[in-house]
Amino acid sequence: MARLLEIKDDVFQNEEITRDQQIYNPSDKIWRFKDNTSSQNLNFEQFEDKLSPELLNNLKRVFIHRLRNFSVGGARNILYSFSSSLIIADTPLEEIKLEHLDLKNAAIWKKIPTLISYWYELGISGVSELTYQQVRRIKKPKQDCGKAVRNHDPRTAQLTAEEVELLVNRINLLYSEDKITTEDYLIIAILLCTGMRGAQLVALRCSSLVGDELYIPKIKNNAPLYRDLAPHQLSPALSIWRLLHRYVEDVVEKTDGDGDAPMFSYQTSSCLRANIHKINKNLIKLYSDRLPEGELMPITPMRFRHTIATKMAEAGKGVEAIAQTLTHNCINSCQVYVDGTATRDGKISDVMSPKLKPLAQACCNEIIEDESEFPDPLGGRTKMDKRVQYGPKGAVGNCGKCGSCSARAPISCYTCSMFHPWAHAPHREVYEDFMREREETGEFTNSIEVTTVTDLSLRSILYVIEACEERNREKYE
């Protein structure tokens, strides 16, 4: 077998440069890298008591060569797998043998043959031909990648329709109350609507938004491939996209017209995930009946990806369409969504789940006779400024907060605690138009799951209608 050229002995005396043009010092115990999407470390210090000095230096030589030709993210994953599989011996190892490796973990198994083969073929001492042949002959353990999705894991898998709507209504309310920034509001909304990875969102540029399309870079080994973009069609009807256009225009203006400026301020996907966790813990704070009482419902970009893919499968989309939306190169990983989709029949009734009634009651504020009972706004604004309009059919109430969030008003207003419905407003017309829209969506998608995502909004409108009718009956009796 042809052997690759060896790394020179004096390699530790000079700085090295990676394939991605990042500079590092091989003599450091921890190699630190930072790019547009993440901060990544290769920690060799952890091997000081496990490998002999000579073997540790040879391991470094292998990764020096690896970084010259492959991504930092891929090298980090290989080193992590090696660290996780290495069995600690009584004395530091002088050579890597098969009995020093625990290959039972399917998640890390693939990386070990890659490292052992690369190490041996470089001609660097530390791996014998016997170990090289043994590792190549081992059968890969079976890995159950879709277990969480199939089992509907309440912490890591897809969100239910009810959980999605609770989340949407919650972030709309927080944004209307100025408790989350426009940037954080858009980030959560975009992840929920597109199912993109956190690393993809961090890699977005202002130039990624073109008209009604958002061009999402594909990710390979945690590195964005800007030459390989996947257009995501935006719906002009969604107020979030109009808000996104205004937000991007502001970013371009602040960066002196730089269209290639990052769309969002988070430099790494890990920082993004940490901030979403912080917002969920301190502000969103939703609870699911699928979790023990008092345990917060986890919110992560990966859960949003599972949710988007599951909804597509339930709408009858094939694995090819799901893989394209998730920007997967291999469609096999998307088969779990199609296989796990339960076939459901039925017609949506006006009578919603009993669990939604108390939620609808909690969302609605006090019903007022008309605008005369609405408190005078502060800041020089008039009551008319606070009206919630329903097109030519007139106003349906007043907004007790900013009155400008316009997150699909007036439908979303019925699930907002700042909304003051009028007793004689055209709430029933709102309900009938909303029902027609739901039915059209159901016919288009042929999926009850897609339409029931708006159950809470519908139940809230019904609650306002019933409360107004009861109030009016009591008044005239």
Per-residue pLDDT tens digits for 15-36: 899 988 899 999 999 999 986 5
Model confidence pLDDT, tens digit, residues 124-156: 999 999 999 988 887 666 556 677 888 888 899
Domain 147-339 annotated CATH 3.40.309.10 = no
Q: What is the pLDDT of residues 372-419, one digit of tens each?
A: 888 887 766 788 888 888 877 788 888 876 544 555 567 778 877 778
Q: Which residues contact 448 (CB under 8 A, 6 or more apart)?
A: 344, 345, 346, 348, 442
pLDDT at residue 8 above 60? Answer: no
What would the two tokens of residue 433 be?
A: 């138009």
Which residue in the block uniquely carries the two structure tokens 């996104």?
A: 244
Confidence class for position 110, pLDDT limits 50, 70, 90: confident
pLDDT of residue 35: 66
Give the total residue count for the chain.
477
Q: Please, which residues have CB within 8 angstroms of residue 437's CB and are 6 or more apart in sequence?
A: none
- Please give the helix or strand (H or E) that residue 462 lies within, else none: helix 455-476
The DSSP string of 356-390 is: HHHHHHHH----BSSGGGSPPPSTT--TGGGEEEB
Each residue of 267-310: pLDDT tens digit? 788 889 889 999 999 999 988 878 888 889 999 999 999 998 88
Q: Where are the domains of the chain?
A: 9-137, 147-339, 356-476
In this prediction, residue 188 has a pLDDT band, given cuts at 50, 70 and 90, of very high
Q: Average the pLDDT over 158-184 and give the result.
A: 89
Contact 419, 364 (CB under 8 A): yes
362, 477, 467: which is closest to 424 by C-alpha? 467
Closest CA to 72 of 34, 44, 110: 34
> In this predicted structure, what is the pLDDT of residue 345?
33
pLDDT for residue 350 is more than 80 = no
State residue 146's pLDDT score: 77
Backbone angles phi, psi at 51, to 5 degrees: -120, 150
- Between CA 183 and CA 251 the distance in angstroms is 10
Q: What average pLDDT score do residues 339-352 get?
A: 43
Phi, psi dihedrals of residue 412, rounded to the nearest 5°: -70, -20
Q: What pLDDT does residue 29 have?
A: 93
Between 365 and 178, the more confident residue is 178
- Enter the tokens of residue 75: 């090298």
Whether residue 437 is predicted with pLDDT greater than 50 in this model: the reply is yes
What is the per-residue pLDDT for 1? 41
Residue 431 is inside which H or E element, if any?
A: helix 427-445
